[in-house]
Structures are given as C-alpha cells and as structure tokens.
Chains A and B, each alone.
Chain A
Amino acid sequence: MKGTWWLARRQQRGLILALLILLVACAAWTVWQRAAMTGALPTTHPACKGWNGCDDPALRAVVERYTGPITALAIISTVFPALIGMFWGAPLLAREWENGTYRLTLSQEAGPLRLLAGRLGLAALCTAAGAAVLAALVAWWWAPIANTLTGPYWYDAAIFNGTGPASVTCALFGLAAGTLAGLLTRRTLPAMAATLAAVAVPRLILQAVRPLWIAPQLRTSPGMTPKQLIGSAWSSGHWGYLTPSGGRADIMNCPDSGAELLRCMNSHGYTGRFYQAYPSSDFWPLQTIEAGIYLVLALALTALVIRRLRPPTATPAPAHHDTPVAATAV
C-alpha cells in the first residue's frame, strides 16, 4: 500500500493544500468573529432561549448582528459536499482518461484496485476531516446563541445541513458520486455537472422529507390555559382545537385570542388547544437517519466504482469474455 499511497499523496497535494487554506481561513474567521460575539453577549442570556425568550434588546442586537455571518459559514459547510464531489471526486479518475494515463496507471503491477484504494482512501480521509472541521466550526460558533430569539435554529436548513454527522457522510457521498461520475463520463467537466445534480437532488429531497422520519410531539392545553411555549422546538405546522371526542379541528374556525376566542370555542364545544412540534433533542435522531442514508449511498457508489474498475482475475474459460472493463476506447 505504501506504493499507491505515495502516488496518491503526490497527485493530490495541490487539493490538500487548497483544502487546508479553506479550513484555516474559515477557522480564523470563526475564532475572530465568535470572540467578538461572545464579548458582546449580555450576561443574562442563558435564560433567554427560544422564540418566547426574554426580549432583551442587547441580546437581540447580538443575535441579529451574527445571524448572517454564522449562516454564511453554515452555507459553506452545506455546499462543501458538492464542492468536494465536483473538484476532488470528478477529476479523480476522469483525468486519467483525459490525459490518456489510464493506459499507464491501470497496466502497472499494482493494478486498478490498489491504486483506487490509495487514491480514493486519501481523498475520503481529507473529505471526512474537512467536513468534520467545518461542521465543528459552525456548531461551535452557533452554540452561544443557538435557538435564541430570531437567530438560527437547529432545524434551519443551513444549520441542520452544515453541522452534525450527516454533513460528514454527505461529503463522503459527494466524493463517491464525483468519482463514479468521472469514471462513467471519462470527462471532468460533464462529471462535475453530473455530480452537482447528484448531490443537490438528495439534499433537497431529504430537506423536504425531514419531518416525516419521526412523529412530532403533541402538546395540548385544556380550556383556556396558556399554550406550552414552543421554545426551541420545531413546529410541524399543525395546530388547532381539540373536540370533546378527542378529535381535532382547524385553527381557522376561531379567531386568534381574547374574549372572541373563548366565545367561539364554547360555541363549537372545543375542550382545548393543541400543536405538534419536534423538540430540539430530535436533532440527533434526525441527523443519525440522514447520516446513515448518505453513508449507505456513499458505500453503494464506491462499490460501483470498484466493480467497474475490477480487472480480470483468473484464466477464464473461452466463454467468459464479456466481463465489464475499465477501458473501452483506443
């Protein structure tokens, strides 16, 4: 393995350097900005979590000041899998066909699979490390104002996709998708376009179906007792009135509040109010599910790459000649 490892390091040192520059720049900016942010936070703020937290103007000013920059970093972390797939995965094998060097590379004694192990192994290591650093930076910067007032919440697309284990396995999926696209198209540019689509589509789908994986909490308040504060929970968008039979009625049936509401509820015979929400602790089961999906996708695509690159293994019988082959163009 030392042999292919050397070549992998030599051929990817430019990419590794570029990744290091990106990570150092993001880390420096985060350290600087986060220090300024925590310095400006009022001392009262730990008690102010959630939408309904205390409306401290000093706290609100800090949250509003830093929501944009934190979201920007989280977006960098969110698009990282696509960047890795396009600029690291797509050329990883496609360049061999563009240069014609696949003839040299694949015919060496080490062979296609050991070369792939070194090359893709190093790329995967760098990808996982880079994604983990970015995810950690986002989480670390966000933590002091996490789920506070109008700031970024755990279920916001940028925060959820830019932090946690799913962002790491998604980056590995992006790398595998780019590598396979490069092997299939044998051209870097079309492979980059295919990779962008291959990463964006599952991300958008998972974003859309996220609330479907687990059931939300049902929070009820009988009669006119005040509703439980939503806090940092993620509203499912379903709320309304409870009927005596235990059924639910549409929120639009009565006006929002006050004496009108009481009269209306009484006239309909509603016994109370309800809403459904995901508590912030649901971040972890949802992250685990998505991390697993991306990991399975990454492994499946890698298996396809291996299958397509695999050389013949033994002296075949004459009838055994239609095995898939890496190179078909002379």
Chain B
Amino acid sequence: MNETNCAALRTDALGRAFGRTWALRACDLEIPAGSVVLLAGPNGAGKSTLLHLAAGLLTPTTGHAQVLGRTPGTRDARARTALVAQDKPLHPGLTVAEQLRAGRELNSRWDQNAALAVLRTADIPPGTRVGRLSPGLRTRVALATALGRRPDLLLLDEPLADLDPPARHQVLGLLMADNAERGTTIVFSSHILHEAEQICDQVVLLRQGRVRLAGPAQPLCTAHTAVTGRTDRAGHLPAALTALPVVESSITGRQFTALVRGPVPPEEPWLTRVPSLEELLLAHLHPTATTDSAAAPATGRDAA
C-alpha cells in the first residue's frame, strides 16, 4: 500500500459489541490523511468505542479497521498513533516532568520540545504530581504526552470538555498548528460543536452505534437546506414541506424552521439558506430527528 495515499483511518463493516449490546456496528469510514475530523454524536453513540478500536485497545467484533495502512495495536500502528482518552489518563504518582520522561522512554519518535510547547500554554510547574493537577491542566499534560510522540494520527476523546473558553481556543490553535505543520490527521470527539466546527474539515456523526452522516464538512452543509416559513392555517407544517426529507423541524407561533436534505422547490414562499455545520449537526442530533440511514446522503466512503 502506498504510504502517502493510504487513508489515516479506514473501517470496513466495523462493529463492536459488549455482551449483547452493540456499541458500534456496520461502520464504514475512510478518513484521508491530513484531515481534521469532528466525531459528533450523543452520549453512548459509539464515539469512544470507535477511538479505542482505532487505537488498538479494543478488537473488533465484526469487520476490521486500519490506521495508516496498519492493523491497530501493532507496533507500527502504535508508533504512529496517539490516543488521549476521555478521562485523560496519566500516572497519578508521577510528576509532570516524569510523565514526559515516560513518554520519551517508551516512544522512539519522542520530541520533548513539542511536548513542552503544549505545557507552555499554561503555567504548569514540572515538579507537580500529575494526580494533583486541575482537570484543565491535566488535559494539557495529556495532550503534551500525545503530541510529544509526534503521531501521524491523533485520536482525542473529548479534548475540550474540561477547558475554559480561552483554553479551548489555545488548544484548538495547537492542534491546528500541528495539523498544518506536520499534516497530522486529527480525529476528535466533542460536544462543543460551535468551536469544534471551526477547525474540522470532515465530520462523522454517530448515533446509536451507527454512522448517520460522514464526509467533508462543506459539501455536507450545502447538501442540506435550512428553511423558514409560515405554517398552514391549522398551525401545522405545510404539506409541501412534509413531502420533503425533513431532518428536523420546529414551530414557534405561526412560523416554522426546518432542516431539509437536498434543495427545496424554489416556488415555495420560504426563506432558504445553507445551514452552518453546527445547525446541521444539532438537527441530526435532535432526539426527534429522522435517522433513517437509508436517507443519509452519503457514507464516509462515498463522500471522501
């Protein structure tokens, strides 16, 4: 397989069950190298499971995954993949400096300066024990141990969750810089869609263990239409709208707003525009959203 052309993450019919519960099933994805991928979905959608499978910490129940053309968990894959799990695991008894030393001792590609650059975004005394750090500082140390490994694929589970807005801005800046300078593929899950959408160029939306939406962000947005208009006399959605593939809709007074797959008929007296990625994801994440996967515009494979 050609090293430069192979996908950073590729899954074929990937599934993982815990007992009788499927955390992830029938997942087909192809994430091109160098992309920044937002992994969205409600709690329990399978985001962490997908990241753990990609990191080689879980083996698939069905199908298989490849990272950078290699089986996750093999030495080659480990050398080039870094995971920061949701709880930001670090050895609680080590100091910050020792945690970085552990990164150096266990990884041949370790770059101390890359790790220190992350720590410099906050005032973290190197002698502090990792177990005593605040959640925000802990996130930064975890990111430092991951970025210090100079990964080609960086898997981040909720990296923004414990950060205040200025810190989120800093961390997103670091990730973008690494992506720009080294072409690192970044796959990260987040509920903070507003900020996440600013840096991602691909999006994967999971729901109930299945991929609902996947592909480059901009085409996904333009493939949908945000519609605003008047309800019919009875206060319901107009029949012309319900005939369309509506993802999600709401009615306020005599006005409705809706997100529709594809274009709407131009003759209707509605206000239309291209939705933002956040609007698109929120609509698909809404509990009442139609999630018929057959109606999904594209799987990741087709769209990528």
Residue numbers of A with Cβ under 8 A of B are 2-4, 6-7, 10-11, 99-104, 106-111, 115, 311-316, 318, 321-323, 325-330
Q: Which residue of A lies closest to B75 (CB)?
A: A111
Contact in complex: A327, B52 (CB < 8 Å): yes
B121 interface residue (CB < 8 Å to A): no
Report if A103-B64 is in contact (Cβ < 8 Å); known contacts: A312-B72, A330-B48: no
Question: Which one, A4, A311, A330, contacts B106 given CB within 8 A?
Answer: A4
- The answer to whether B49 and A330 have CB atoms under 8 Å apart is yes
Known: A6-B105, A7-B102. A103 touches B79 (CB 8 A): no
- The 16 listed contacts between A and B (C-beta, < 8 Å) are A4-B105, A6-B105, A11-B91, A99-B92, A103-B85, A104-B90, A104-B145, A107-B55, A109-B75, A109-B78, A109-B108, A315-B70, A321-B61, A321-B64, A328-B18, A330-B23
Task: Report B111-159 residues with CB < 8 Å from chain A CB.
Answer: 145, 149
Interface residues on chain B, number (Cβ under 8 Å)? 48
Q: Are B105 and A316 in contact (CB under 8 A)?
A: no
Known A-B contacts A10-B98, A107-B82; the reply to A327 vs B58 at CB < 8 A is yes
Question: A-B contact count, CB below 8 Å?
Answer: 113
CB distance from A320 to the nearest CB of B (A): 8
B residues lining the A interface (CB < 8 Å): 12, 18, 23, 48-49, 52, 55-64, 66, 70-75, 78-79, 81-83, 85, 87, 89-94, 98, 101-109, 145, 149
Nearest to A2 among chain B residues (CB) is B105
Contact A103 B57 (CB under 8 A): yes
- Find out whether the CB atom of B107 lies under 8 angstroms from the CB atom of A318: no
Given A103-B83, A322-B59, check contact A109 B74 (CB 8 Å).
no
**Is the CB–CB distance between A318 and B71 below 8 Å?**
no
Do residues A318 and B64 form an inter-chain contact, with CB atoms below 8 A?
Answer: yes
Residues of B within 8 A of A2 (CB): 105
- Residues in B whose Cβ lies below 8 Å from that of A316: 64, 71
Q: A6-B101, A107-B78 are in contact. Are A101 and B90 (CB under 8 A)?
A: yes
Contact B64 A107 (CB under 8 A): no
**B53 — nearest CB in chain A belongs to which residue?**
A330
Complex contact A315–B71 (CB within 8 A)? yes
The answer to whether A314 touches B74, judged by C-beta atoms less than 8 angstroms apart, is yes
**Residues of B contacting A4 in the complex (Cβ-Cβ under 8 angstroms):** 105-106
B79-A107 in contact (CB<8A): no
Expressed in whole angstroms, the Cα–Cα distance for A100 and B48 within the complex equals 14
User: Once bound together, how far apart are the Cα atoms of A257 and B105, in whole Å?
Assistant: 77
- Residue among B61, B72, B105, B145 with most chain A CB within 10 A: B105
Q: How far is the CA of A330 from the CA of B49 in the complex (A)?
A: 7
Q: In the complex, what distance in Å separates the CA atom of A104 from the CA atom of B143?
A: 11
Min CB distance A91 to B, Å, is 12
Is A10 a contact partner of B78 (Cβ separation < 8 A)?
Answer: no
Cα of A311 to Cα of B49 in the assembled complex, Å: 17
On chain A, the residues within 8 Å of B82 by CB distance are 107
The residues of B that contact A315 with a CB separation of less than 8 Å are: 66, 70-71, 74
Given contacts A312-B56, A315-B71, A328-B18, contact A104 B85 (CB under 8 A): yes
- The listed residue (B56, B85, B106) touching A3 by CB distance below 8 A is B106
CB atoms of A311 and B56 under 8 A apart = yes
Report A-chain residues with C-beta under 8 Å of the C-beta of B79: 109
Is B12 a contact of A313 with CB atoms below 8 Å?
no
**Which residues on B sit within 8 Å (CB–CB) of A325?**
58-59
With CB as the reference atom, state the residue of chain A lying closest to B50. A330
Bound-complex Cα distance A208 to B81 (A) = 54
Chain B residues positioned under 8 Å from A312 (CB to CB) = 56, 59, 71-74
* Measured CA separation A103–B58 after assembly (Å): 10
For the complex, what is the distance from the CA of A312 to the CA of B109, rounded to whole Å? Answer: 21
Q: Distance (Å) between the CB of A138 and the closest chain B CB?
A: 34
